[in-house]
């Protein structure tokens, strides 16, 4: 299960799905360290995989992106 902050991070990524967001930007937005942000993103990615959802799209030097898939 996701923590409240992890859920907020996932929604933040989804709201900004048109661009890649850096770990630093996420950390600044949520007033947490970059290391904590990385731990949270790992937990989010694990949760997505456990629930058969697409993983976070991570691009080195660009950032992270995620779009919630539409239900059919």
Q: What is the pLDDT of residues 19-57, one digit of tens each?
A: 999 999 999 999 999 999 999 999 999 999 999 999 999
- Prediction pTM value: 0.89
Write the CA distances from 43 to 5, 46, 70, 72, integer angstroms. 11, 5, 22, 26
**Domains, in order of start, for the chain:** 4-65 (1.10.10.10)
How much is the pLDDT for 68?
76
How much is the pLDDT for 71?
60
């Amino acid at each position: 299960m996701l923590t409240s902050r992890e859920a907020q991070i996932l929604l933040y990524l989804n709201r900004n799905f048109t661009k890649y967001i850096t770990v630093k930007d996420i950390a600044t937005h949520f007033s947490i360290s970059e290391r904590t942000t990385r731990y949270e993103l790992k937990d989010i990615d694990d949760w997505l995989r456990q629930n058969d959802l697409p993983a976070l799209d991570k691009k080195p030097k660009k950032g992270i992106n995620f779009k919630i898939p539409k239900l059919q």
